[in-house]
Chain A
Amino acid sequence: MGKYGDKSVSMNIKGVRFRPWRKYAVIYRSVLMENLQYAANIAMGFFSYFVFIFIFIKLWGYMYRTPGELIAGYTKEQMIWYVMMTEMMFFGSNAASVAGEVARDIRSGNIAYLMNKPYHYTLYILSRYTGEWSIRLPMYALLAVVIGTVMVGPLPHFRLTAVPAMAVCVVLGLTIHAVFKLCISLFSFWIEDATPFQWLYDKLILVVGVMFPVEIFPKALQPLLKMTPIYTVCYGPAKLIVDFSPEKCLEILAAQILYLTVGCVLMSLIYRKGVRKLYVNGG
């Protein structure tokens, strides 16, 4: 298990420089190329995204009754753009399929084959996930910009110069999301099917982070919500896109790094404990 993959430092074997991270780059590139072949299939998923956005445009159109009205400090345009951005991350990352892959590997016993490869299984899954969203996310981002511009209007006070900082927050948010989903999937080592736990986690993210910004919840709940993964996975990146400020950006980045570190340690611990429980029949 992860005989070589765990080592993050470069090694020198008989004069040949060996970079352990290179194999993950190769996995990433192969998934990226594979997904490029199926870009048309990815585009067929646009329909679901459009349905969600259409519903929310209509819903917020109804809730905001007077022009210029503010709800929880957001204008109608900001609120709809917020939902579009969070949904873009949700649809563009497709973390559900990655989590499903892990659960299937464990249930089918395929993991016995994968964990003997010269890579760490969880990093292999994360590389595949990154390869997947590298194609999906830009496609959904483009769609979101087109729908938003046509149906809602341009985002007020959007700062083009802040796009790199926003992109870093989005990437970190997607990675944290995948790490937590992986942690839940790894529970399949103990219980046969961890999917119900995935539903609850997804619904928590969806209801509390994707559909509404944290400010819309009662004031007493807001500090609590900011301590959950929701703050780093979807609220933070989307908030920066609709209402950027350098201070907020630093605060969100710090929280994301902390969450990613804790998530990775947790994932590694669960995986180590889980593989000890693994019992695979021959075949």
Chain B
Amino acid sequence: MLTAAKNQLRVCLLSMKYNMMREMVNKVTFLTNVCFMVLNNASILVQWIILFRLREDVGGYTFREILFLWGLTAASFGLSHILFARAFSLSDLIIRGKLDSYLVQPKNVLVSVLTSSTDISAIGDFLYGVALVCACRPGVGGFFLFLLFTVTGTAIFTAFALLLGSLSFWFVRMDILQGQMVMGAVSFATYPDGIFEGISRFLLYFIVPVGMAVWYPVHVIVSFHAGMFFAVLGYACALSVTAVAVFYRGLKRYASGNLMEARM
């Protein structure tokens, strides 16, 4: 059991390593992608500088808390696209019947699928997120909390994408909806929860998992709250387990596309 897990982990790490090496063949393109993604993210700070010129707080957040919000969203989104980029295009694999090459491998299907691709520009997202939080001087404890919540945020974003992507086993055109729902969640995550109220706030905390991926963690980093801390951990675990269960349930319905494909 332990040996099997170790082997699986080794295969995952090798898969990620080769994904990276493949993307780094052209070093100029690689560096341009990473650096420009950092600049791209940094340019959005203009929006917040403008808004904070108008008011002292936005949605109850200070400028520093907005930087935490952006840092955590960018780092979580970035890490999920570095490690598990395929989860965000899973619908396409299912709809086009491209899962065959993963099914014949003597390794865990889901892990092999998730780690089979890396989004290089996401390295820029991740670096930007870490740099932004460091610039806010969160202290040692705050920084460790940030790292922990980056992991839970990565799990939540990936599980959310996996859950939506797995619905393609039952419904067509989920590829469009998957992309839009995930990007919608990220858009919500970059604004403070204080501007939303009523039913929209409830939906954003429990259905679209923005509250648990980003808002609660930011509140905990700014001022520690044990209830929120454990709620985030519990939600990340519950959503991940649900997403994995839905994927395997759907896999039973998978029909091959008779597509000849080699994975190299």
Contact = CB atoms under 8 A, between A and B. Distances in A.
Interface stretch (A59-67, A110-118, A245-253): A59-67
Contacts of B131: none
In this complex, the interface size class of chain A, counting residues with CB under 8 Å from chain B, is 20 to 34
A203 B51 CA distance: 17
A196 interface: yes
A203 B187 contact: no
Contacts of A200: 36, 39-40, 43
A203 B191 contact: no
In this complex, the interface size class of chain B, counting residues with CB under 8 Å from chain A, is 35 or more
Q: Would you call the interface of chain A mostly helix, strand, loop, or mixed?
A: helix
B7 interface: no
B46 interface: yes
A48 B180 contact: yes
Interface stretch (A123-131, A210-218, A236-244, A264-272): A210-218
Contacts, number: 83
A207 interface: yes
A178 to B, nearest CB: 20
B180 A196 contact: no
A182 B28 CA distance: 22
Contacts of B242: none
B183 interface: yes
Contact of A48 (B36, B59, B183): B183
B58 A63 contact: yes
B164 to A, nearest CB: 12
B44 A207 contact: yes
B36 A44 contact: no
Contacts of A52: 187
A130 B194 CA distance: 40
B184 interface: yes
Contacts of A62: 58-59, 194-195
Contacts of A204: 43
A2 B44 CA distance: 40
A277 interface: no
Contacts of B108: none
A202 to B, nearest CB: 8
A191 interface: yes
B103 interface: no
Contacts of B196: 58
Contact of A55 (B28, B44, B58, B191): B191
Interface string A194-227: 0111011001100110011000110000000000
Contact of A54 (B50, B54, B200): B200
Interface in B168-183: 173, 176-177, 180-181, 183
A51 B195 contact: no
Nearest to A202: B40
A279 interface: no
Given A45-B180, A48-B180, 10 more contacts: A44-B180, A54-B200, A62-B59, A63-B51, A63-B55, A193-B33, A196-B37, A196-B40, A200-B40, A212-B47
Interface of B: 26, 28-29, 32-33, 35-37, 39-40, 43-44, 46-47, 50-51, 54-55, 58-59, 121, 173, 176-177, 180-181, 183-184, 187-188, 191, 194-196, 200
